[in-house]
Amino acid sequence: MEKILNIKKEVSTESHSEFQTANQQLDTPFCSENLEVPVSATERTNASEGNFACSKCGTSFSSNLALLNHEKTHSDQKTFACAECGRCFMDVKSLARHEKTHTGIKPFSCSECEKCFVERKGLVRHEKVHTGEKPFSCHECETSFSLKANLLRHLQIHTGEKSFACSECCGRFRANSDLEIHRRIHTGEKPFLCTECEKGFTTKKELDIHNRVHTGVKPFACSECDKRYSRKAALNIHQRTHTDSKPFDCSECDMCFNTKTQLVGHQRTHTGEMPFACSECDMCFRTNQQLVVHHRIHTGEKPFTCSNCDMKFSVHWQLVSHKKIHTREKPFQ
């Protein structure tokens, strides 16, 4: 009996030792606090050191599990579907995180402001905005970051590394999150819907900017005049009117333009291209804006209203011209 007990003890000790060894081999960054850092950014080693190489891009990894997680970025296979909206995910943890967005429950609130978060890690990240803490510094430059994931992504600027490849086109990206957003171009997916007008957007940032149309918020102010804008890009374009800067030159003639969109529209005068066709008649236009203005002839839409009377106009310049009646301005004398 004593002999049998000793044998069982030896087997139990060996099994526990084997389990510890296997557990150490399967150690991945998902066991650390850096949950959202791409595996390829943390587990990647030099090709000479890594034992597990990706057959698609040649990237080497220190463990087989890290390689398996990386290989998912080359595949469109997403087996975990959300029952609410149909979006699919590569693993059950990502699905669980997403499902919380449908409940609207955000139990983690910031003590400094009124912002709330679905997960505690989101609150921890946000709190560093108030403290200004940026413990992760780049050894190549003096830039510092509040999150290690942001530092790892920044380091790829110096190395030029883009490990995440799109299976539909030749696009490559520094982070898996950037690849996921890019893929929506191919799928047409627009998961972020406006609650006011139901318009869809590919990213939450685009939705937040769009919401300013409904709220009237214009956080970007011109330092030269009193004009304000909802987008920083619009402010940058406006500020060129003060400096008379026109950085976009036409290669066919000497004309310069304030924006690239204006340049592209102008270049079509040289090529004769008119890609924007009206669905109501046979007319075609060089720019989408010209088509939008023209389409108001068919719809009767007049979005520009005079603040002094009830007259409405289909284009802005007509309103500007009309207002001179009220001011008695006579520019052409």
Predicted TM-score (pTM) of this structure: 0.43
Is residue 46, in this structure, part of any structural domain at all? no
Q: Which domain holds residue 89?
A: 75-105
Is residue 35, in this structure, part of any structural domain at all? no
Is residue 252, in this structure, part of any structural domain at all? yes
What pLDDT score does 250 carry? 93
- The torsion angles phi and psi of 115, rounded to 5 degrees, stand at -75, 140
**Cα separation, 87 vs 81, whole angstroms:** 6
> DSSP secondary structure string, 68-106?
HHHHGGG-----EE-TTT--EESSHHHHHHHHHHHH---
Is residue 45, in this structure, part of any structural domain at all? no
What pLDDT score does 52 carry? 77
Along the 333 residues of the chain, how does pLDDT read in single tens digits?
A: 444 444 444 444 444 444 444 444 444 333 333 333 344 444 444 334 457 777 776 677 777 777 777 776 666 566 788 888 777 777 788 888 888 888 878 888 888 887 888 888 888 888 887 888 888 888 888 888 888 878 887 887 888 888 888 888 888 888 888 888 898 888 888 888 898 888 889 888 889 989 988 898 999 999 999 999 988 888 988 998 898 888 899 999 989 998 888 899 999 999 999 999 999 998 999 888 889 899 999 999 988 889 889 899 988 888 889 988 888 766 555
HSE-CB of 2 using CA atoms within 13 angstroms: 0
**Cα separation, 235 vs 205, whole angstroms:** 17
Of 65, 84, 105, the position where a domain reaches its end is 105
Cα–Cα distances in angstroms (integers) from residue 56 to residues 59, 76, 178, 263, in the given order: 8, 14, 19, 40
Is residue 171, in this structure, part of any structural domain at all? no
Is residue 321, in this structure, part of any structural domain at all? yes
Is residue 227, in this structure, part of any structural domain at all? yes
Is residue 155, in this structure, part of any structural domain at all? no
**Cα separation, 253 vs 251, whole angstroms:** 6
Q: Are 250 and 267 in contact (CB under 8 A)?
A: yes
What total number of domains does the chain contain?
A: 2
Q: Are 204 and 211 in contact (CB under 8 A)?
A: no
Cα–Cα distances in angstroms (integers) from residue 60 to residues 34, 37, 45, in the given order: 20, 17, 6
Q: Are 274 and 285 in contact (CB under 8 A)?
A: yes
Question: What is the number of H-type helices and E-type strands within the chain?
Answer: 12, 20
Cross-strand bridge partners of residue 256:
249
Four-point Cα dihedral 235, 236, 238, 240, nearest 10: 160
- The torsion angles phi and psi of 7, rounded to 5 degrees, stand at -65, -45
Tally of residues, the chain: 333
Check which CATH number belongs to the domain holding 89 and give it. Answer: 3.30.160
Single-letter code of the amino acid located at 123: L
Closest CA to 91 of 35, 141, 22, 50: 35
Check which CATH number belongs to the domain holding 260 and give it. Answer: 3.30.160.60
